[in-house]
């Protein structure tokens, strides 16, 4: 037990109900769920922002604690142990805040970082397009300079969090005569600006967690340019590196971990089957290996830097989660097979299973993560590129 642990757990006791803390300490999942249901996150998120525990690695000027990466991760892992509520703005706090911290002007940092820490403003990431996902650098949304502003026209897709986002980071092509990675600029955009049209997409589980976003001559001031003109690819690399790292650390923590399968197998009368037990134990062992790998990265600062190694944990986590959710549906038997299960337990498990199919796509597909591991972790030769060095305008592309 470290003093950091006492300090963070002590603070949590002042803001979370005793029943919550006791249930988390004793691993009482039912008790924890009951405490979570009765809790209003909003005052907690404000208190967390004011305490510095929302963003412990950020400088104090932006409501952080200025802690070095290993100590900031230690704080985060204590908060995770107690399943403390997290900000609904996953993108802002984990990916876009760190990008503004690295690339923003002083005015941008002062204006945008504190509301992220306080969970007062939420963000979305307008990067992917119909013709530019894995090959993001081929994006076609255009920004034209117009005096001290830019005019932006194009289409984005798969944009998460549009239902809560006040602001966005956006990539647009500003110099089509440069090779594809060199003519892109990053902007901060108000989602309420004239010309922004958000159209939600319906997912396989019935939810609408992401949207298409159409941009029709949207005006953005040059003061809202994030990073130097035409260097948006470098800015985007910062966001994407933090995305891989934060998905590795946090996604799937809340529900349906391999350990939960034990309880499910007992409830469904399958625990007596040695084959079932073997499969579950295998998943639990893999989950433990993943957690130990993440702890090791946390202590070396790889997570805070969004190092290429996080592609390893991104692949492990998303593929392990898919196999875990498959196993959960197997355990349900016929109850899980119905397209729309009638009991709440089965409905939640089937919905989580369907949602998990996106894990190996969102934040960069597993194939792309393996390319990153090959090239940047193992030092293998780069993937050949047919358009290397060619101006973007001369590269043949579909219309998306």
Ligand X SMILES: Cc1cc2nc3c(=O)[nH]c(=O)nc-3n(C[C@H](O)[C@H](O)[C@H](O)COP(=O)(O)OP(=O)(O)OC[C@H]3O[C@@H](n4cnc5c(N)ncnc54)[C@H](O)[C@@H]3O)c2cc1C
Per CB under 6 A, residues contacting ligand X are 124-125, 127-128, 133-134, 158-160, 210, 358, 361-362, 364-365, 367-368, 371, 383
State the minimum distance, in angstroms, from the CB of residue 68 to ligand X. 29
Q: Which residue in the list 74, 129, 209, 243 is annotated as catalytic?
A: 243
**364 close to 314: Cβ distance less than 8 angstroms:** yes
Cα separation, 14 vs 216, whole angstroms: 48
Strand 123-126 and strand 167-173: pairing?
A: parallel
Sequence-ordered list of residues with C-beta below 8 angstroms from that of 385, at least 6 positions apart, any chain: none
Cα separation, 37 vs 27, whole angstroms: 17
State the minimum distance, in angstroms, from the CB of residue 152 to ligand X. 15
Under DSSP, is residue 61 helix (H, G, I), strand (E, B) or coil?
helix
45 vs 124, which CB is nearer to ligand X? 124
State the minimum distance, in angstroms, from the CB of residue 292 to ligand X. 27
Cα separation, 298 vs 329, whole angstroms: 33
State the minimum distance, in angstroms, from the CB of residue 355 to ligand X. 8
Q: Which residue's Cβ lies closest to ligand X?
A: 133
What DSSP line would sit under 254-319, residue for residue? SS--TTHHHHHHHHTT-TT-HHHHHHHHHHHHHHHHHHHHHHHHHHHTHHHHT-TTHHHHHHHHHH
Would you call 195 exposed, middle or buried from its count of C-beta atoms within 10 A (0-12, 13-18, 19+)?
middle
State the minimum distance, in angstroms, from the CB of residue 359 to ligand X. 8
76 vs 125, which CB is nearer to ligand X? 125
Checking phi first, is residue 256 left (phi over 0); if not, alpha (psi -120 to 50) or beta? left
DSSP class of 382: P
Cα separation, 302 vs 242, whole angstroms: 10
Checking phi first, is residue 219 left (phi over 0); if not, alpha (psi -120 to 50) or beta? beta
32 vs 358, which CB is nearer to ligand X? 358
Tell me whether residue 177 is one of the annotated catalytic residues: no
Cα separation, 216 vs 38, whole angstroms: 43
12 vs 189, which CB is nearer to ligand X? 189
For residues 63-102, one letter each, b for 16 or more C-beta atoms within 10 angstroms of the residue's C-beta and e for the rest, the string is bbbebebebbbbbbbbbeebbbbbbebbbbbbbbbbbbbb
State the minimum distance, in angstroms, from the CB of residue 90 to ligand X. 9
Strand 149-160 and strand 167-173: pairing?
A: unpaired
Cα separation, 22 vs 13, whole angstroms: 10
The torsion angles phi and psi of 367, rounded to 5 degrees, stand at: -65, -45
Q: Could you give the angle at the alpha carbon of 387 between the alpha carbons of 228 and 124, nearest 5°?
A: 45
Helical packing angle, 232-250 and 310-332, nearest 10°: 40
Sequence-ordered list of residues with C-beta below 8 angstroms from that of 32, at least 6 positions apart, any chain: 20, 23, 24, 83
Q: Which residues are known to be catalytic?
A: 243
């Amino acid at each position: 037990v470290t003093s950091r642990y006492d300090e963070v757990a002590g603070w949590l006791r002042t803001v979370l109900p005793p029943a919550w803390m006791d249930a988390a300490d004793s691993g009482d999942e039912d008790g924890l769920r009951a405490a979570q249901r009765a809790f209003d996150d909003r005052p907690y998120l404000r208190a967390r922002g004011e305490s510095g525990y929302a963003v412990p690695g950020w400088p104090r000027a932006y409501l952080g604690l200025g802690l070095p990466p290993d100590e900031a991760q230690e704080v985060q892992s204590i908060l995770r142990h107690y399943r403390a509520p997290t900000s609904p703005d996953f993108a802002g706090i984990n990916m876009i805040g760190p990008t503004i911290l690295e690339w923003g002007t002083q005015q941008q940092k002062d204006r945008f970082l504190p509301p992220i820490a306080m969970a007062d403003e939420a963000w979305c990431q307008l990067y992917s397009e119909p013709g530019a996902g894995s090959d993001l650098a081929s994006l076609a949304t255009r920004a034209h300079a117009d005096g001290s502003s830019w005019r932006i026209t194009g289409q984005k897709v798969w944009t998460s969090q549009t239902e809560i986002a006040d602001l966005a980071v956006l990539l647009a092509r500003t110099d089509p005569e440069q090779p594809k990675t060199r003519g892109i600029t990053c902007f901060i955009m108000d989602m309420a600006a004239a010309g922004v049209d958000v159209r939600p997409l319906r997912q396989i589980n019935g939810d609408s967690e992401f949207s298409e976003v159409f941009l029709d001559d949207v005006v953005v001031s040059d003061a809202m340019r994030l990073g130097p003109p035409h260097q948006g690819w470098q800015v985007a690399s910062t966001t994407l590196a933090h995305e891989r790292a934060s998905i590795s650390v946090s996604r799937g923590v809340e529900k349906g971990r391999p350990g939960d399968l034990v309880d499910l197998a007992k409830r469904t009368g399958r625990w007596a089957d040695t084959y079932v037990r073997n499969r579950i134990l295998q998943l639990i062992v893999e989950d433990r290996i993943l957690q130990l790998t993440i702890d090791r990265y946390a202590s070396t600062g790889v997570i805070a830097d969004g190092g290429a190694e996080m592609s390893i944990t991104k692949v492990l986590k998303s593929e392990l989660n898919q196999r875990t959710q498959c196993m959960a549906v197997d355990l349900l038997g016929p109850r899980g097979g119905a397209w729309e299960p009638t009991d709440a337990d089965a409905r939640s498990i089937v919905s989580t299973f369907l949602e998990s199919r996106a894990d190996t796509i969102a934040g960069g597909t597993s194939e792309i993560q393996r390319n990153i591991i090959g090239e940047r972790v193992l030092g293998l030769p780069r993937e050949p590129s047919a358009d290397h060095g060619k101006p973007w305008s001369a590269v043949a592309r579909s219309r998306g």
